[in-house]
Amino acid sequence: MPGDTPSPGSGAVACVRDLVKNFKGAEKPALDGVSLEIPTGRVTGLVGPDGAGKTTLIRILAGLMAPDKGSVSVLGGAPGKDMEHVGYMPQRFGLYEDLTVQQNLDLYADMRALPADEREATFSRLLEFTDLARFRDRLAGALSGGMKQKLGLACALVKTPRLLLLDEPGVGVDPISRRELWAMVQELITDGLGVLWSTAYLDEAEKCDSVYLLSEGELLFSGDPAELTCSVEDRVVRLTGFEKRRRKVLTQMLDREGVIDGTIQGRSVRLLLKTPDELKGESGFEIAPAQPRFEDGFIERLGGGPKGTSALAEAYRNIEAGDGPAIEAKGLTRRFGDFTAAHDVSFSVPYGSIFGLLGPNGAGKSTTFKMLCGLLTPTEGSGAVAGHDLRSSGGRARAALGYMAQKFSLYGELSVAQNLNFFAGAYGLEGRDARHAVERVTEIFELGDRLKATAGTLPLGFKQRLALAAAVLHEPPVLFLDEPTSGVDPVTRREFWMHINGLVEKGVAVLVTTHFMEEAEYCDAITLIYRSEQIASGTPDELKSQAADMADLDDPTMEDTFIAMIEASDAQRPQEDGRAESEAA
Amino acid sequence: MSALIDNRRLSAMVAKEVAQIRRDPSTFLIAFILPLLLLFLFGYALNLDSTNTRIGIALEDSSAPALSLAGAYQNNPNFEAVTARSVQPLKDMMVRGEIRGIVVIPQDFGSGYARGNPPPVQIIADGSMPNTANFTRSYSEGLLNTWMANEAAARGADPAPPIDLSLRYWYNPSLTSRNFLVPGAIAIVMTMIGTLLTSLVIAREWERGTMEAMMATPMHMAEFLISKIVPYFVLALASTALCTLLAVTMFGVPLRGSIFALMAISTAYLMPALGQGLFISAATKNQFVASQVALLSGFLPTFLLSGFMFEISSMPTIIQAITYIVPARYFVPSLQTVFLAGDIWAMLLPNIGIMLLFGAGFFALCIRVTKRSLD
């Protein structure tokens, strides 16, 4: 190990100093001079978007990687030496999917040398704690995402560790499971245990006792998350009562020098200002102070969000709204054998608006999405995209839409230029049209320097831009977005939605599936899908006020709303085997 | 860190591996169904003896000697002969692939024969299948010579040739190809289990992210490797036993050596086979690449370069040189020896030694590439 072993402060179970880690072929170091300390008795948050260096840091602490520079001390020694007292849950939980819940626990108990006489007591405690007792004999691979994650945690806890490393335990898991897991970890906290919780969700960061904020390998902030939140106090406001469309207002506001950041929240626009008095004395809207969030502080540290006007939208054609809606679903039902994946889903999306399909994993939103893309034939019901019926003219319907997914939508082995040319061809653009389209998006998304780079090696933000660029090459009137910005840093996410907002103003209709609540705020209308059924529909504000009544909440967030509605839906049905059972299906 | 190998951790890892094997139907397929398939294939379908080659006889002459010669072809068990009056219909049959050769008995055969100067008999073979063509040619020739000699002897013209050549084929008196193919098939089966199956197991742990979780426990890498070897070793030996049982009972292959010798050479061969599989798995960390590499570097050389299908001594020198680095080259002859000849330790021991050396080499490589690190 290079350097001397640093001496951690009193009560710290792990400590790193000035860590540097380079990977071959990468433009920037994965970690660049990061220092961190994990004290006992609290949850230390390691926060940052994908690719920030969180996993690398955790792996170094687990002794699975060696740093290039800097020093590491874990439980008073070199990392990887005393693994009996370190619990580690990797991103994919480290479970053997072809073994049962019990077999997984047995294996980890033996690996960590849990004394035989403590076995049964420990297992029953952990199984009760994770609510997995009913599933002892189920294969781990047949568990739902949330249950796998709990089993992963149980496996990391078979022998009570002194240091618990959790690498993005909340990723790919619905908000309810995330909350449950958070509560479980809170319960574990004792004087003898230090927990490092890594996350890309900034709302999780707010709940940590102290956080380390990473971005592209650099430490942007460390300390009490409230400190960062406080730094923007008085400067976060909510605008309401304007007559113009909210997206127009946001665009205009973002173009002002004095506005650092802005997002849409239901009918209102939320702004982070340079000075509290920036908007003083202006009319046309009402200003109310808003609750500052950790994310506001993060954005300010990153140098603010993007400006409001989208070059992509400026150059985009005006979509001539035809008669009827842009996207229509009428009683869409899809059955796989006995299992109904989506039941009687109906909605319609006019041109110039965003519609959101929300729901936990496996609820049926992907099935609905695939039916509308023409990738699955509905068992019952019908659908249309840009006036083309999916059954009779599926090909034309597909030609009218642009599709973008956060994952899997690009060819990682091809260069940026090859990807763009391929998608231009795939969308039926030829010759000069194709060339112009590729040049246009190259300029707008500033891809010029990277045309020859292999798409798979691009930083995440650029992959995101490239994916959007490929989806809009043929200027489609309808855009389908599948979890477009999960895991992306907040600045890139804002940039993405800035483009989408601009396109919507040009008349484009957007359908988005997400379990990421911030994305839901951008929608004009939402339908919440749970257990294959639409359990609620409406504008974000309507849903929030419904949830406020249902769960007696004051000013609920989108996430509160989501959870309240799912819990209400569960309460209505007979409690045979609870939520977990249906999730696993 | 505790002792190098902890029995409790090791047995937990082995138990885990066994549970995975039991739950994975493809393991069972490769270990038990595939060997059955291979044995049946090599025992019944693939037969290097050419019996019943279909040929045509163009009988353009109807004299007694011509008929007698044609009768000799028809009565020979190696041929199934159809007769025609001219070449033309037989030519068409050959084009359609219905016969593999034509023996033309010319129209003046009888009269020429009576003069003691028979015209040449033409033998036409289908060159598109060289093996069969060779066989057809040499057998037809032999048969013709035998017939001539018999006829001559019958007429008392020229009694028995001065030297009587008496042929004996040792170890496989009937020259049944099954007797050396079936033991060879055992080598193929062991390679499939030892190399192909194990090449997948470490790669699978990498792909599924379980490797990372295991490395973050107190586990030692030696325990990890041993836990991968033990179950597949047992599985491969069980499969060998099954193959041997079938070979002896169903296919009537003799087992002249001892079970002990058979197990000794099998164990020795499993060392390089398992070592190679684990090395591929640890080095590629990807199941697809691992399986391709295992097929190319394990299965194909065993099939082609071990002397199982093709005799090494008849290969070009450069290829012969390459066979020395194929562990199966030492295993296939050992198997054939144990089955057909007996416990010839003078021949088996050096082979066992070489196979163990290969095994040690692969395990050394394996330990080199299996690091407790994600770097």
Q: Please say if the pLDDT value at position B367 is more than 70.
A: yes
Our CA-based measurement puts residue B228 at a distance from the nearest CA of chain A, in whole angstroms, of 15
- Higher-confidence residue of A27 and A220: namely A220
Class of domain A320-378+483-585: alpha beta
User: B370: closest CA among B284, B259, B287, B260?
Assistant: B284
CB contact under 8 A, A99 and B23: yes
CB contact under 8 A, A98 and B13: no
Our CA-based measurement puts residue B238 at a distance from the nearest CA of chain A, in whole angstroms, of 23
Q: Does A108 touch chain B (CB under 8 A)?
A: yes
Q: Does B12 touch chain A (CB under 8 A)?
A: yes
Which of A66, A81, A155 is opposite residue B375, by nearest beta carbon? Answer: A66
Which of B9, B13, B375 is opposite residue A65, by nearest beta carbon? Answer: B375
- Higher-confidence residue of B237 and A517: namely B237
Test mutation, B14, B205, B207, B210, chain A, max A CBs within 10 A: B210
**What fold is seen in the domain A232-304?**
Alpha-Beta Plaits (3.30.70)
Domain extent listing, chain A: 12-228, 232-304, 320-378+483-585, 409-476
Average pLDDT over residues B121-137: 78
CATH superfamily of B53-154: abc type-2 transporter like domain (3.40.1710.10)
Identify the pLDDT of residue B123: 85
Q: Is A456 helix (H, G, I), strand (E, B) or coil?
A: helix
Contacts of A80 in chain B (CB under 8 A): 372
d(CA B321, CA B312) in angstroms, rounded, equals: 10
Identify the pLDDT of residue B14: 93
With cut-offs at 50, 70 and 90, classify the pLDDT of residue A148.
Answer: confident
Identify the pLDDT of residue A1: 39
Q: Does B16 touch chain A (CB under 8 A)?
A: yes
Residue A96: closest C-alpha in chain B: B210
Average pLDDT over residues A136-158: 87
CB contact under 8 A, B8 and A113: yes
Identify the pLDDT of residue B175: 56
This model's pTM is above 0.90: no
With cut-offs at 50, 70 and 90, classify the pLDDT of residue B348.
Answer: very high
Q: Please say if the pLDDT value at position A580 is more than 50.
A: no
Domain extent listing, chain B: 7-46+176-369, 53-154
Q: Does B208 touch chain A (CB under 8 A)?
A: yes
Identify the pLDDT of residue A453: 86
Taking only the tens place, the pLDDT of each residue in A35-64 is 999 999 889 999 988 778 899 999 999 999
Contacts of B1 in chain A (CB under 8 A): 81
Taking only the tens place, the pLDDT of each residue in A256-300 is 988 999 988 888 899 999 988 888 888 888 888 988 988 899 888
With cut-offs at 50, 70 and 90, classify the pLDDT of residue A581.
Answer: very low
Q: Please say if the pLDDT value at position A495 is more than 80.
A: yes
Our CA-based measurement puts residue A179 at a distance from the nearest CA of chain B, in whole angstroms, of 24
With cut-offs at 50, 70 and 90, classify the pLDDT of residue B176.
Answer: low
Q: Give me the CATH code for the A12-228 domain, please.
A: 3.40.50.300
Q: Please say if the pLDDT value at position B12 is more than 90.
A: yes
Q: Does B212 touch chain A (CB under 8 A)?
A: yes
Segment 508-567 of chain A within 8 Å of chain B by CB: none
CB contact under 8 A, B12 and A106: yes
Contacts of B373 in chain A (CB under 8 A): 64-66
Provide the percentage of residues in chain B whose pLDDT is more than 70. Answer: 91
Contacts of A99 in chain B (CB under 8 A): 16, 19-20, 23
Taking only the tens place, the pLDDT of each residue in B322-345 is 999 999 999 999 998 999 889 999
With cut-offs at 50, 70 and 90, classify the pLDDT of residue B6.
Answer: confident
- Higher-confidence residue of B44 and A380: namely A380
Considering chain A, what is the average pLDDT of its residues?
86
Hey, do A232-304 and A320-378+483-585 end up sharing a CATH topology, with the first three levels equal? no
CB contact under 8 A, A93 and B215: no
Identify the pLDDT of residue B174: 59
